[in-house]
């Protein structure tokens, strides 16, 4: 009974209910279309092609794909925390929202630099994957203890070419073979437009 009273308190007056329902439908439709056009579902997967939904990521995709890491890893293996599922998806959600905001409002910089949380995730994943190949003294040199004692240090301070190379810009890989984006317009709408054009 309490829930019904609450719903009645928020219900619009009878004369406005139809208009409110229409506006609510339009709003929900726009949200669903935005999620579809932005390929939101692709970000739940570990597919590397999701990274090139934004064209500025094409050089990074191409250099990863053609490097040694392209044979054994996907983007999320390096760039997303792998400690537990909850941390992984929280990181993906916060990072994805930040990326979506930046690219939607054209705020992306000319040179993309990884932010601190991303650097820390990549550093932990480097050590996680390569721990068998790193001497204990080297591990100490790149862990938090060494950073506290001597300042910031990361694996790629020495391994600069791994995995993306030194130069990463849209002009540095102009002929990169990256997955092409499909149209965000559903196929049935495209067919309707084509049939309308042919009939006119």
CATH topology of domain 55-169: Multiheme cytochrome fold (1.10.3820)
- Encode the chain in three state secondary structure: CHHHHHHHHHCCCHHHHHHHHHHHHHHHHHHHHHHHHCCHHHHHCCCHHHHHHCHHHHHHHHHHHHCHHHHCCCHHHHHCCCCCHHHHHHHHHHHHHHHHHHHHCCCCCCCCCCCHHHHHHHHHHHHHHHHHHCCHHHHHHCCHHHHHHHCCCCHHHCCCCCCCCCCCCCCCCCCCCCCCCCCCCCHHHHHHHHHHHHHC
pLDDT above 90: percentage of residues in the chain: 14
Between these two residues, 76 and 138, which has the higher pLDDT value? 76
pLDDT at residue number 24: 93
Domain ranges for the chain: 55-169
In the predicted structure, residue 148 carries a pLDDT above the cut 60: no
């Amino acid at each position: 009974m309490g829930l019904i009273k609450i719903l009645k308190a928020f219900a619009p007056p009878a004369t406005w209910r139809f208009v409110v329902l229409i506006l609510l439908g339009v709003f929900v439709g726009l949200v669903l279309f935005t999620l579809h056009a932005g390929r939101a579902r692709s970000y739940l997967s570990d597919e590397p092609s999701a990274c090139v939904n934004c064209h500025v990521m094409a050089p990074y995709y191409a250099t990863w794909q053609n490097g040694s890491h392209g044979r054994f890893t996907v983007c999320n293996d390096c760039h997303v925390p792998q400690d537990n599922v909850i941390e992984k998806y929280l990181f993906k959600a916060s990072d994805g929202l930040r990326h979506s905001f930046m690219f939607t409002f054209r705020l992306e910089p000319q040179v993309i630099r990884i932010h601190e949380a991303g650097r820390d995730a990549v550093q932990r994943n480097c050590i996680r994957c390569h721990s068998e190949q790193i001497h204990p003294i080297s591990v100490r040199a790149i862990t938090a203890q060494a950073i506290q004692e001597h300042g910031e240090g990361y694996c790629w301070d020495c391994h600069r070419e791994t995995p993306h190379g030194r130069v990463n810009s849209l002009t540095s890989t102009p002929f990169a073979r990256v997955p092409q984006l499909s149209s965000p317009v559903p196929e049935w709408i495209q067919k309707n437009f084509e049939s309308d054009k042919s009939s006119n």
